[in-house]
């Protein structure tokens, strides 16, 4: 459905000194600088797949989505989406996609959301029967049926985000780009939107690329993650394989009946937390049994648990470039 090959995007901008003198100098001589927002990215997405597109702030996520949706023209590389070149902006292509940006509004602020929906219906040429069915179904799924005729400015942030999603899906796109769709939302609103996206993807087989800094979004919706940092691809694979790529490690939480010296804990692994009641150690997976046996035989252990390292910690290591680019 989506094929991206060696995609690049550069932005040119000018350096300016401060003050009036700097402004005058800028009139006659401007130093041009170049920012490489996206550097040689390649990946593909199958029909109906939902992937998480991750990276720290400024990594190039939004820029990439804008190129995939045809908003920006790339500096180099190739993108093909279901046979279309996005930046050619053909009407047939625009009918196949939709993009929702958590920090941008497409709804008319002073009008009810239903008016914006009807405008989208007319723009995309959706027939009356289909339009009514889609709005009724999605409003029910998003639990906003009673809010369709309320001014957008009167809605809460979570309610507006649900309306933005509904507006983006009026023409039933095959491909949906979501850029931070749950940004700033409370836990319940995030959960509702995640549930909606999961159900919608299952029912419609819509291809979805989602960016989010909330790992709960990605873990709940995506089996695969594409991670970029400083415009470069650093990981493309299953979410569950990230810890393996970094070197499988486990968290060993041990509760003791008495205080244990920190030096003793250091003999068993990397100490992550320590208190009078015990410690949390980071241990290579292959050494867990041996370390646990040594702790049980040498320390006053009351209880212990072995857990995975949280996925957000592993992804943060990619952000910090602790591992080689793959």
pLDDT digits 0-9 by tens, 217-263: 888 899 999 999 888 898 898 887 876 776 678 889 999 988 888 88
What is the average pLDDT across 141-150? Answer: 92
State residue 246's pLDDT score: 66
**Is the model's pLDDT at 173 over the cut of 80?**
yes
Going by C-beta distance under 8 Å and a sequence separation of 6 or more, which residues neighbour residue 63? 9, 37, 38, 72
Using the predicted structure, report yes or no on whether residue 181 has a pLDDT greater than 60. Answer: yes
Closest CA to 270 of 257, 261, 283: 283
- The confidence score (pLDDT) of residue 247 equals 64
User: Which one, of 207, 151, 146, lies nearest residue 177 by Cα?
Assistant: 207
pLDDT at 135: 94
Q: Report d(CA 74, CA 89) in Å as an integer.
A: 13
> Over the stretch 257-277, which tens digit does the pLDDT of each residue have?
888 888 888 888 888 888 888
Instruction: Give me the phi and psi of 144, to 5 degrees please.
Output: -130, 20
Q: Which pLDDT belongs to residue 71?
A: 93
* Residues near 62 by beta carbon (within 8 Å), at least 6 away in sequence: 101, 179, 211
Reading phi first (left if > 0) and then psi (alpha if -120 to 50, else beta), residue 25 is in alpha
pLDDT tier, 206 (very low <50, low <70, confident <90, very high otherwise): very high
Check if the beta carbon of residue 44 is closer than 8 Å to that of residue 95. Answer: no
What confidence score (pLDDT) does residue 126 get? 93
| Assigned token pair, 167 | 């507006």
Give the neighbor-by-neighbor strand order of the sheet with 232-238: 97-101, 175-179, 207-211, 50-54, 224-229, 232-238
Helix (H, G, I), strand (E, B) or coil at 105: coil
The first and second tokens of residue 123, run together, are 């723009």
State the residue for tokens 């992804």: 315
The confidence band for 27, taking pLDDT boundaries of 50, 70 and 90, is confident
pLDDT-derived band at 324, boundaries 50, 70, 90: very low
Which CATH code fits 247-319? 3.30.70
Would you list the domain boundaries of the chain?
A: 48-66+86-242, 247-319
Q: Return the closest-CA partner of residue 2 out of 169, 242, 124, 174.
A: 174
Residue 321 pLDDT class (50, 70, 90 cuts): low
pLDDT for residue 100: 92
Q: What is the pLDDT of residue 80?
A: 95
Q: What is the sign of the dihedral through the CA atoms of 288, 291, 294 and 295?
A: negative
Do the Cβ atoms of 213 and 219 come closer than 8 Å?
A: no
Write the CA distances from 162 to 16, 173, 192, 196, integer angstroms. Answer: 42, 17, 9, 9
Q: Give me the pLDDT at residue 322, please.
A: 45
User: What integer pLDDT is reported at residue 95 of this predicted model?
Assistant: 92
pLDDT at residue 269, rounded to an integer: 87
Structural tokens at position 59: 């990594």
C-alpha 24: how far from chain center:
43
Strands 224-229 and 232-238: antiparallel
What per-residue confidence (pLDDT) applies to 325? 43
- Helix, strand, or coil here: 258? coil
Say how far residue 93 (Cα) sits from the centre of its chain: 24
Whether residue 127 has pLDDT greater than 90: yes
CA angle 94, 95, 96 (to 5 degrees): 90
- Residue 133, classed as helix, strand or coil, is helix
The pLDDT tens digits for 291-319 are 999 988 888 889 999 888 777 777 777 77
Share of the chain above pLDDT 70, in %: 97
Q: What pLDDT does 125 receive? A: 92
In the predicted structure, residue 323 carries a pLDDT above the cut 60: no
Distance of alpha carbon 37 from alpha carbon 220, whole angstroms: 28
Give the tens place of pLDDT for each residue, 72-108. Answer: 999 999 999 999 999 999 999 999 999 998 778 889 9
Cα–Cα distance between 200 and 206 in angstroms, integer?
A: 8
Domain 48-66+86-242 fold is Rossmann fold (3.40.50)
């Amino acid at each position: 459905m989506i094929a991206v090959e060696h995609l690049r995007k550069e932005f040119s901008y000018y350096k300016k000194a401060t003050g009036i003198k700097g402004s005058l100098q800028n009139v006659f001589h401007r130093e041009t600088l170049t920012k490489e927002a996206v550097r040689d990215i390649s990946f593909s997405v199958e029909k109906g797949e939902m992937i998480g597109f991750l990276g720290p702030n400024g990594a190039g996520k939004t820029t990439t989505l804008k190129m995939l949706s045809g908003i920006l023209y790339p500096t180099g590389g190739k993108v093909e989406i279901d046979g279309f070149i996005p930046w050619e902006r053909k009407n047939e292509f625009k009918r196949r996609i939709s993009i929702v940006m958590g920090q941008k509004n497409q709804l008319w602020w002073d009008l009810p959301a239903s008016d914006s929906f009807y405008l989208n219906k007319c723009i995309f040429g959706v027939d009356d029967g289909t339009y009514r069915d889609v709005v009724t179904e999605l409003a029910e799924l998003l639990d906003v049926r009673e809010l369709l005729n309320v001014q957008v400015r009167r809605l809460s942030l979570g309610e507006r985000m649900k309306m933005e999603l509904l507006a983006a899906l009026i023409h039933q796109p095959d491909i949906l780009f979501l850029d931070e769709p749950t940004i700033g939302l409370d836990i319940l609103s995030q959960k509702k939107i995640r549930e909606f996206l999961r159900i919608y993807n299952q029912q419609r087989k819509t291809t979805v690329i989602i960016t989010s800094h909330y790992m709960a979004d990605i873990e709940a919706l995506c089996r695969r993650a594409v991670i970029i940092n400083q415009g470069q691809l650093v990981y493309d694979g299953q979410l569950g394989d990230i810890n393996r790529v970094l070197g499988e490690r486990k968290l060993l939480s041990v509760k003791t009946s008495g205080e244990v010296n920190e030096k003793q804990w250091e003999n068993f692994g990397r100490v992550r937390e320590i208190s009078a009641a015990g410690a949390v150690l980071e241990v290579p997976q292959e050494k867990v049994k041996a370390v646990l046996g040594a702790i049980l035989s040498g320390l006053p252990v009351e209880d212990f648990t072995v857990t995975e390292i949280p996925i957000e910690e592993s992804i943060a290591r990619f952000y910090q470039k602790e591992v080689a680019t793959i």
